[in-house]
Amino acid sequence: MKYDYIIAGAGCAGLSLLYGLLSDEQLQHKKILLIDKDTKKSNDRTWCFWEKEAGIFESIVHYQWKKLEFLTTDFETKFDLKQYKYKMIRGLDFYNHVLKLASKFTNVTFLNEDISAINADEKSAKVKTSKKVYTSKYVFNSTALFNPKITTKNSLLQHFKGWVIKTKTPVFNKEVGTLMDFRVHQNQGATFMYVLPTSSTEALIEYTLFSKAVLKEAAYVTELKNYIKNTLKIDEYEILHQEFGVIPMSLSKFTRQPKASKNIVNIGTAGGFTKASSGYTFQFIQKNTKAIIKNLREDKIPLKKISFREKMYHWYDKTLLDVLLSHKLQGKEVFSIMFKKLPPEVILAFLGNESTFLEELRIMNAVPIKAFLTSGLKQLK
């Protein structure tokens, strides 16, 4: 067998795993093959997430906020994140950082190929590309090869277009990020803006929707222009960077272990690490990476077992998603109720799967019981 590990898909999850392996003295000399159809040379996404401590990628955090705000038509709140910080990492900084470390290791190979199949037998796993078949003990997959079917019945799409804009004069308060501004029309489903200033003249502004289908490009552009002009009152600006994304928010099961084989481990979105109710993924990938590294170091199978608490969070996510999918409540209503009634740090802990059971009871107590109970019972089946 030529490789110890094959990492199929070198995006956020694949490169986080590679970084974890290379940062570990016991695992850094393993023979590792990365395969991706893309060269990871473009700044294709910006990751935001919240955490308490300095994370493994702290040195490439582009900006961070101690204060956030939530706005809707009849209510607004600006809050201190207490133990959390809301952080931003730019995709290209992340790719460059990990690939720079990898370039120091002769035991790491990167191939730019398209993967068509991944299979396994008792002892090994095989990755087939347009050029060759590669074998290793374990394959960590983040391609969509094993993804479940996403339909309009079981899923919403979180779709968004973001612009980093630069203004001529100072207009932004760089101390405060806007997590959600729901003061935009809700014709297509839950719809809000992020405004994340990184200086008084620069900010990422993202038009985000949770709905069943993506829009025509012109619709995102119109909404971004209107918001910048009419709400932010900015007339002159330059667009420095643009990004577009679609994240599945799904009731269907993304499995960690496809083909019932311990030699193939799904990671990232493919492994179910995108939170179904919010689309956030980055931080869940980091936690899973840590667990995989720990298992490999202890010579155990890498697959992390789903704990009881994780099952509970999956149920909460599915319940919230079902409430939105079945139109029992609007997304704007749900998030407004939460931010009106609960301390923001409790909401962040809950959305980050870090809440205590008591905090979860507070959340259940705050949301409309009938809608959540019927959806919750449905998702228990």
Ligand X SMILES: Cc1cc2nc3c(=O)[nH]c(=O)nc-3n(C[C@H](O)[C@H](O)[C@H](O)COP(=O)(O)OP(=O)(O)OC[C@H]3O[C@@H](n4cnc5c(N)ncnc54)[C@H](O)[C@@H]3O)c2cc1C
Spell out the residues 6+ positions from residue 130 whose beta carbon is closer than 8 angstroms to its own: 113, 114, 116
Kindly state whether residue 261 participates in binding ligand X, applying the rule CB under 6 A.
no
* Of residues 46-65, those binding ligand X (CB under 6 A): 47-49
Kindly state whether residue 265 participates in binding ligand X, applying the rule CB under 6 A.
no
Kindly state whether residue 115 participates in binding ligand X, applying the rule CB under 6 A.
yes
**Long-range CB contact pairs, 282-289, < 8 A, 24+:** 282/12, 282/47, 282/48, 282/49, 282/89, 283/49, 283/50, 283/51, 283/352, 284/353, 285/12, 285/13, 285/16, 286/16, 286/55, 286/56, 286/57, 288/13, 289/13, 289/16, 289/17, 289/19, 289/20
Q: How far is the CB of 130 from ligand X (least distance, A)?
A: 9
Q: Give how many residues touch ligand X by CB under 6 A.
A: 28
- From residue 67 to residue 106, the character string flagging contacts with ligand X as x (rule: CB under 6 A) and all else as - is ----------------------------------------
| Cβ closest to ligand X, residue 136 vs residue 143 | 143
Q: How far is the CB of 278 from ligand X (least distance, A)?
A: 8
| H or E element at residue 174 | none
Placement of tokens 């790719």 in the chain: 95
Q: How far is the CB of 164 from ligand X (least distance, A)?
A: 12
Q: How far is the CB of 368 from ligand X (least distance, A)?
A: 27
According to CB under 6 A, which one of 143, 250, 319, 375 is a site residue for ligand X?
143
Cβ atoms 270, 141 nearer than 8 A? yes
Pick the piece of the chain touching ligand X (CB under 6 A) from 65-73, 172-180, 279-287, 313-321: 279-287
| Cβ closest to ligand X, residue 8 vs residue 184 | 8
Spell out the residues 6+ positions from residue 251 whose beta carbon is closer than 8 angstroms to its own: 154, 155, 276, 318, 321, 322, 325, 379
Q: How far is the CB of 299 from ligand X (least distance, A)?
A: 25
Pick the piece of the chain touching ligand X (CB under 6 A) from 62-70, 184-192, 263-271, 325-333: 263-271
What single-letter amino acid sits at 280? Answer: Y
Kindly state whether residue 36 participates in binding ligand X, applying the rule CB under 6 A.
yes
Kindly state whether residue 142 participates in binding ligand X, applying the rule CB under 6 A.
yes
| Cβ closest to ligand X, residue 36 vs residue 354 | 36
DSSP string, 56-104: TTGGG--EEESEEEEEETTEEEEEE-TT-EEEEEEHHHHHHHHHHHHTT
Q: Interface residues with ligand X (CB under 6 A)? A: 9-14, 35-38, 45, 47-49, 114-115, 142-144, 243, 245, 247, 268-270, 280-282
